[in-house]
């Protein structure tokens, strides 16, 4: 009976943790997706098929699974958005080398790209984008025996913070936390090794990459997130969006509706929990 109670309690605690993570992710989504938009469901009766292009080298967003099948957050998001648009039977997704994606789209070989094409002024000259559906957060990681508490601006003052030299996070750390002592490293791996050894008090970097490192064997359960997340379009860009040809801007707006419905119905949070076991947010 005791073991059953322990298992039941563990399941309850796990459910509460997952629920809290989902609520946190919902709150973050509200920060960069206008929940008050009232988009009408678009009619796309003449669309015979909706072909998406992606790549296979960007896990957990798009990759090949153990069976060699295309998988990932972006793949499942496309399916969910197509389902909301009533186009699931007409949606297709194909993987190609990243460098070939935009030329193939512009040549009419597909209608959309979901593979992290940068939202830049240069790309906007030839492409239209949906609203961003994912923005990369910056996070601090600290050792569990040397945790730093909010407000981080005070806790991090005069502390040694590892950052990857030349990265956007160096400039962001300087702008957001000027009192921190920046310690540059040639790579994230070296910065995190310095954190484990105690050479720095924290590492500041991409929250997505750090979330997977925290669960890896390399981390040895040493560390956890502290403070944050920190979002900045100035330093970290506009995030991830679906790209279409300029002439298909109406398709981008239709996809906005589909993604908006995925978010409103919490299907987006389910995908986040599936592909990000430790929330980057």
Query: Do both 116 and 227 map to the same domain?
Result: no
Share of the chain above pLDDT 70, in %: 86
Average pLDDT over the chain, rounded to an integer: 88
Q: Pick the residue with more confidence: 48 or 247?
A: 247
CA distance 201 to 181: 10
Edge-to-edge strands, sheet with 160-164: 181-185, 160-164, 202-206, 138-143, 223-230
Are 242 and 225 within one domain?
A: no
55 and 73 together in one domain: yes
Residue 208 lies in a domain: yes
Q: Indicate the pLDDT class of residue 42, thresholds 50, 70 and 90.
A: confident
User: Does one domain contain both 159 and 220?
Assistant: yes
How many folded domains does the chain comprise?
2
Q: How confident is the model at residue 6 (pLDDT cuts 50, 70, 90)?
A: very low
In a domain, 37, yes or no: yes
Q: Is residue 253 one of the residues assigned to a domain?
A: yes
- Residues 149 and 124 occupy one common structural domain: no
- 198 in a domain, yes or no? yes
Range of the domain at 172: 138-236
- Strands 62-64 and 138-143, bridge-based pairing: unpaired
Give the pLDDT of residue 38. 61
Q: Taking the model in full, what pTM does it have?
A: 0.83
The Cα–Cα gap between 170 and 239 comes to 18
pLDDT-based confidence at 44, cuts 50/70/90? confident
Buried/exposed 214-226: b ≥16 CB within 10 Å, e otherwise: beeeebeeebebb
Same domain, 243 and 106: yes
134-182, pLDDT tens digit by residue? 999 999 999 999 999 899 999 999 999 999 999 999 999 999 999 999 9
Q: Does 214 share its domain with 142?
A: yes
Tell me, yes or no, whether 89 and 183 share the same domain.
no
Q: Do residues 169 and 137 touch, judged by C-beta distance below 8 A?
A: no
Residue 261 belongs to domain with CATH number: 3.40.190.10
163 and 72 co-located in one domain: no
Whether residue 183 is contained in a domain is answered as yes
């Amino acid at each position: 009976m005791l073991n059953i109670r322990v298992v039941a309690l563990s399941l309850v605690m796990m459910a509460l943790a997952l629920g809290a993570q989902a609520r946190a992710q919902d709150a973050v989504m509200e920060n960069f997706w206008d929940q008050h938009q009232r988009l009408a469901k678009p009619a796309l009766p003449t669309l015979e098929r909706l072909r998406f292009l992606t790549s296979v080298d960007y896990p957990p967003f798009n990759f090949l699974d153990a069976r060699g099948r295309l998988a990932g957050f972006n793949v499942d998001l496309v399916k969910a958005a197509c389902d909301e648009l009533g186009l699931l039977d007409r949606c297709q997704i194909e993987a190609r080398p990243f460098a070939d994606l935009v030329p193939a789209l512009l040549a009419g070989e597909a209608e959309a790209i979901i593979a992290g094409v940068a939202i830049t002024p240069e790309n906007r000259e030839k492409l239209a984008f949906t609203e961003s559906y994912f923005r990369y957060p910056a996070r601090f990681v600290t050792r569990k025996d040397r945790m730093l508490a909010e407000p981080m601006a005070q806790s991090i003052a005069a502390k040694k913070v590892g950052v990857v030299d030349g990265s956007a996070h160096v400039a962001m750390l300087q702008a957001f936390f000027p009192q921190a002592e920046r310690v540059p490293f040639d790579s994230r791996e070296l910065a995190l090794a310095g954190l484990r050894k105690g050479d720095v008090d924290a590492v500041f970097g991409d929250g997505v990459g750090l979330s997977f490192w925290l669960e890896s064997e390399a981390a040895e359960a040493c560390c956890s997130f502290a403070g944050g997340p920190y979002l900045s379009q100035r330093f970290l860009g506009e995030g991830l969006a679906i790209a279409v040809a300029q002439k298909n801007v109406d398709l981008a707006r239709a996809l906005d509706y589909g993604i908006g419905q995925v978010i409103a119905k919490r299907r987006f949070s389910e995908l986040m929990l599936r592909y990000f076991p430790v929330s980057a947010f």
